[in-house]
Amino acid sequence: MKRRSVIGLEIHLQLKTKTKLFCSCSSDYIGATPNTNICPVCLAVPGTLPILNDHAVELGVKIGLGLHCSISDNTRFHRKHYFYADLPKAYQITQYEHPIAVGGYVDIFADGKEKRVRVHHLHLEEDAGKLVHPTSDGRLTGASYSLVDYNRGGMPLSEIVSEPDMNSAEEAIAYITQIRQLARYLEVSDGEMESGSLRVDVNVSLSNPDGSLGTRVEIKNVNSLRSIERALEYEIARQNKVLDEGGHLVQETRLWDDVAGVTRSMRSKEGERDYRYYVEMDLAPISAGPEYVQKIRESLPEMPWEKRERFISEYSLSLEESLQLTEQKEAADYFEACVSEGAPAAKCANWMRMEVQRILRDLGIGINEFPVPASELGKLIIKVEKRELSNTQAKDVLAVMVEKKASLKEAVGLCGISDGRITGHALEEVIRKIFASEPEAVETIKSGNDKKGAKVKFLQGLVMRETRGSADPAEVASLVNSMLG
């Protein structure tokens, strides 16, 4: 009997604000000395009060609109209570009953199909500090004391909660990728799992034969797309096995162990905490009224899916080409800047997807760090179009442009290939260089001993070889003769 897996995700995005959610501490905490990026407010010093960061609300509304959510014009914060060393107030300020954005969706591409995944809501909340448990062997357990770093405490997060609309690990990954892309397009978050600016909690169950939802298990500690995929595959197999063997599943939270490749029970529903949620009275209600929302809506950039469609219609690209080019906004912008130089779109797309991609991969850099300006790549592609450069030559030139951070013109020169024809002064330079390297031949000619003109021909040949045939033989002959005379 094949059961259908049902997956819902909670994605935490760290919002790209300058300051924390409720105080004026810098949000630039990564790499800072522990407990230097703190203030009385985020340390919960008695008497202090939270002050809401308007920019975080704006970013929350932005991504809410991107997710096609409706924005609530009367939203409040709640307090979520628990005692732990990473939480100075002993409550986290979060949104509970009245989140800022509700009821949206995203369309994803997975298993070769487009699919709509509904978004239940998006809410804003503050992050907690970070605990470090120093053990001699680096393990999490067995430390005799713990250290706490409050630098991250109070950082703004938006949590996006999906409906349980995904049915495979591939769909889950596609959903996360789509949200990450949206967050980056809207510049609301870096969306990096490595640095923790994007974090995911996974909920998975198997549907019963009658179609009703089965017992739900939450998986935590999945810190990369790969571990999410593996954890889902493991957990789906585990749940199937338990049910196949006639066992029962319990509603619980399980931790993914990336090394062992298994999930382990952390706490069951009975052990579920009562967070004693209630309204945060230190903050007035937020009113994100229609005018405010409209203003933000108007400021939104082109969405990734809009760009994808436009690239297909405007540049006659295939869906696959368009998907790849629009994956990152910066790459899409680069592509369009190339095209605007006058280079054919199909060719630009090809160069971007093949050569540029390869270089980026080899160097391990992103398109932002690619040293060749889009206009230069555009010109290079035009040269190929005009047959001034062969494809092979053009790749050499691009390689030099990257390696030496050279302009197109310099790179062409450095490659020693003719940029059109070498004439006049440039040609004289080459000839002078050849003369200098063949002093004996020059001497022979100048002393009148080149009876048959063999040495002159020899020198002309060297010049032609040096210029790779891009100089006019007649001009070479005349210049060589005049410079010898």
Q: Which residues of 95-123 are buried (b: 16+ CB within 10 A; e: fewer)?
A: bbebbbbbebebebbbeeeebebebbbbb
Query: Binding to another protein by residue 477, rule CB under 8 A?
Result: no
Burial code (b: 16+ CB inside 10 Å, e: under 16) for 292-301 equals bbeebeeeee
Closest Cα to residue 38, out of 189, 149, 130? 149
> Which residue(s) pair with 204 in the sheet?
7, 217
Please, what is the minimum distance in Å from the beta carbon of residue 81 to another protein? 6
- To the nearest whole angstrom, how small is the minimum distance from the Cβ of residue 291 to another protein? 19
Considering the complex, what minimum distance in angstroms separates the CB of residue 47 from another protein? Answer: 4
Rule CB under 8 A: say whether 140 interacts with another protein: no
Task: Indicate which single residue of 283, 300, 360, 484 sits in contact with another protein (rule: CB under 8 A).
Answer: 283
User: Is residue 43 a contact residue for another protein (CB under 8 A)?
Assistant: yes
Contact status: 48 vs another protein (CB under 8 A): yes
Instruction: Answer yes or no whether residue 46 interacts with another protein by CB under 8 A.
Output: yes
274 makes contact with another protein (CB under 8 A): yes
C-beta pairs of 186-189 under 8 Å, 24+ apart in sequence: 186/59, 186/62, 186/63, 186/66, 186/300, 186/301, 187/16, 188/13, 188/15, 188/16, 188/59, 188/60, 188/62, 188/63, 188/158, 189/13, 189/14, 189/15, 189/16, 189/59, 189/63, 189/158
40 binds another protein (CB under 8 A): yes
Q: Which is nearer to another protein, 89 or 184 (CB)?
A: 89
Q: Is 284 in the site for another protein (CB under 8 A)?
A: yes
DSSP state of 5: E
Task: Identify the burial level of 225 via C-beta atoms within 10 angstroms of its C-beta, where 0-12 means exposed, 13-18 middle and 19 or more buried.
Answer: middle
CB of 142 to another protein, least distance (A): 14
Identify which of residues 60 and 104 has a Cβ nearer to another protein in the complex: 60
Q: How far is the CB of 65 from another protein (least distance, A)?
A: 25
Closer residue to another protein (CB): 89 or 383: 89
Q: Which is nearer to another protein, 134 or 416 (CB)?
A: 134
Among 20, 76, 79, 383, binds another protein (CB under 8 A): 79
DSSP helix/strand/coil, 292: helix
Is residue 470 within 8 Å of 417, Cβ to Cβ? yes
Beta strands 70-71; 262-268: pairing state? unpaired
Between 289 and 424, name the residue whose CB sits nearer to another protein: 289
Interface residue with another protein among 49, 140, 436, 474 (CB under 8 A) is: 49
Interface size with another protein, residues (CB under 8 A): 29
CB-wise, 89 or 230, nearer to another protein? 89
Q: Which stretch binds another protein (CB under 8 A): 89-97, 156-164, 301-309, 331-339?
A: 89-97
What is d(CA 485, CA 479) in angstroms, rounded to the nearest whole number? 10
47 binds another protein (CB under 8 A): yes
- Nearest one of 249, 198, 253, 211 to 231, comparing CA atoms: 253
143: contact with another protein by CB under 8 A: no
Site track for another protein across 146-185, x = CB under 8 A: x---------------------------------------
Residue type, 362: D
We find the least distance from the C-beta atom of residue 203 to another protein, in angstroms, to be 21
Give the span between the Cα atoms of 13 and 124, in whole angstroms: 10
44 scored as a contact of another protein (CB under 8 A): yes
Question: Does 270 contact another protein by CB under 8 A?
Answer: no
**Radius of gyration (C-alpha) of the chain in whole angstroms:** 32
Q: Using CA atoms in the order 476, 477, 479, 481, what is the torsion angle rounded to 10 degrees?
A: 150
Minimum CB separation of residue 45 from another protein in Å reads: 7
CB of 25 to another protein, least distance (A): 14
Alpha carbon distance 331, 353 (integer Å): 10
Candidates 6-14, 43-51, 163-171, 432-440: pick the segment binding another protein (CB under 8 A). Answer: 43-51
What 3-state class would DSSP assign to 264? strand
Which residues contribute to the site for another protein (CB under 8 A)? Answer: 40, 43-49, 51-52, 79, 81, 83-85, 88-91, 146, 274, 276, 278-284
